[in-house]
Structure 1
Amino acid sequence: MRPQAPEGPLKPTSTHPETDTGTAGIDAALHRALERMLTDRYTCRQFRPDPVPREVVGELLRLAQRTPSWCNTQPWHVHLTEGAATDRLRTRLMAHVRSSPASPDFPFPAQYTGAYRERRRECGRRLYDSLGIGKEDREARLRQLLRNFELFDAPHVAVVTTEADLGVYGAVDCGLYIGTFLLAAQSLGLAAAPQAALASYSDVLRDHFGVPPGRRVVAGIAFGYADHDHPVNSFRTSREDPRNATTWHSD
């Protein structure tokens, strides 16, 4: 008999997870905290200029470092900016993007088809609708695309690199690191934007930060404090029903 996936979130009530079993064994407070972080987190596309205190950034990095990795290799290394260093990177990226072709260290998707294309389009529609940008307004759409390279005015960016010799699995581990970083930021009252767009100009990032030849750029993460009054931060993306992303196998 094929098991049925749950149709909604669990409702744990236990305060003694060490002695209970099944659903009742779930730590209710921990479950609610994680669910809230996952639900409330979003990609911030407009930041306030306020820098994040060093001690808060340090705690963010400490939490992110707890990310699991294959054989505990921890292949990530982060180049992190603040103050004038963030502005210098912004300026250099904008100058390069306007005059040079993309040069990612890892191939970008060849194409988006089917459900992937539809989800991507839905995200784009919600983004442009939040800003009042029409479908035919190519100039405004290009301006919004270039906001990626202005880091959405964030006071900080973290550029995540991996060891080239570890191949795709090193990059997978770095993806896990980015996910942990985003949740850690959320737990600290920070906003963040994971940015594959920055990796499209990996050659610039490697040169700018002096990245050793044996390492590859995976992605960037702009972070800081969200500008909650900006309309671009008002929209949210949907998620597929997990039953459509799962195939159960049993007796």
Structure 2
Amino acid sequence: MSIDESISIPLTHPEATVPRHAAQVVGDALIARTSCRAFTHESVPDETIRAILTMAQRTASWCNSQSWQVAVTRRDGTERLRNALYAHAAEHEPTSTDFPFPAEYRGVHRDRRRESGFQLYNAVAIERGEKERQRAQMLENYRFFGAPHVAVLHVDEQLGPYGAVDCGAYVSTFLLAATTHGVATIAQAALAAYPDVLRTELGLSDDRKIVCGISFGYADSLHPVNGYRTSRADIDDVVDWIDR
């Protein structure tokens, strides 16, 4: 069964069983999913968005706290947030985030990050040292890469790091759910670089902490930026087997 066929899996019945083909469906979605950096202007139908959100709501969480709260933009809401974030990011460097960004990428993590960055720049023909073009490409984060929708995840500050962990799990489920519905996505930590702007534009109180955003819509399949795929480490590079 391919991921573009309809999938009928009960989402609410407590005794629902997993179909025999479920592993293939999930495997297909994991392979098909990629980070989209160029979207068409076509909006995703509300019923499709609700179907994705319904699937994502099944995400496991600590003590079933379901820590995430999600602000999903449509139509003028997307444009208002896009314009506000881009204008601010174009004039201001990030100052502080609600959850610390990595202090440093080193070793294999640095190598993987650099490989991904080189692939991106090669796809859009940005040469090493072209700082202005690199910055322009970075700022596309705040245009949501042209996506008609963005989902911003935020969490109660009292839930701390485990609330953020719950949101990370939700992001993964959302990305896979969207893929099964033919919807392209990109998870964006970059949006969390300006939490005060997001709180203002989304009407959030100060105790709501911004985790990340997910821009989504339909991929522009002809744009070269969507033409590359990142690699994955072999499981033996990331797994230590403890037998005794």
Give TM-score, length-normalised by structure 2.
Answer: 0.90
Unaligned runs of 5+ in 2: 1-17
Equivalent residues in 2 for 1:68-147, closer than 5 Å:
68-102=60-94, 103-147=96-140
Q: Deviations over 1:198-218 (max 9, x none)?
A: 000011001111112221000
> Aligned partners of 1:244 and 1:101: how far apart in 2?
36
Q: After alignment, is 230-239 or 99-108 more displaced?
A: 99-108
Q: What is the SS of the residue equivalent to 1:179?
A: helix
> Aligned partners of 2:20 and 2:46: how far apart in 1?
32
Superposed displacement of residue 245, structure 1: 0.5
Correspondence 1:170 to 2:163? yes
Match of 1:50 in 2: 42
Superposed displacement of residue 27, structure 1: 6.2
Q: What is the SS of the residue equivalent to 1:216?
A: strand
Match of 2:194 in 1: 201
Aligned mate of 2:144, from 151, 155, 168: 151
> Aligned partners of 2:80 and 2:203: how far apart in 1?
14
Match of 1:186, as an amino acid? T
Superposed displacement of residue 49, structure 1: 0.2
Going from structure 1 to structure 2, the CA distance change for 1:61 and 1:27 (only over 3 Å counts) comes to closer
Q: After alignment, is 83-92 or 169-178 more displaced?
A: 83-92
Q: What is the SS of the residue equivalent to 2:242?
A: coil
Q: Deviations over 1:173-213 (max 9, x none)?
A: 00000000000000100000000000000110011111122
Q: After alignment, is 190-199 or 94-103 more displaced?
A: 94-103
Q: What is the SS of the residue equivalent to 1:78?
A: strand
Match of 1:154, as an amino acid? A
Unaligned runs of 5+ in 1: 1-25
Match of 2:114, as an amino acid? R
Q: What is the SS of the residue equivalent to 1:147?
A: helix
Superposed displacement of residue 84, structure 1: 1.2
> Aligned partners of 2:81 and 2:200: how far apart in 1?
11
Superposed displacement of residue 133, structure 1: 0.9
> Aligned partners of 1:106 and 1:207: how far apart in 2?
18
Match of 1:238 in 2: 231
Q: What is the SS of the residue equivalent to 1:136?
A: coil
Q: Which stretches of structure 1, 4 residues or more, deviate above 4 A after TM superposition? A: none
Superposed displacement of residue 30, structure 1: 1.6
Identity %: 46
Give TM-score, length-normalised by structure 1.
Answer: 0.88
8 Å contact kept, 2:149–2:215: yes
Match of 2:11 in 1: none
Q: What is the SS of the residue equivalent to 1:170?
A: helix
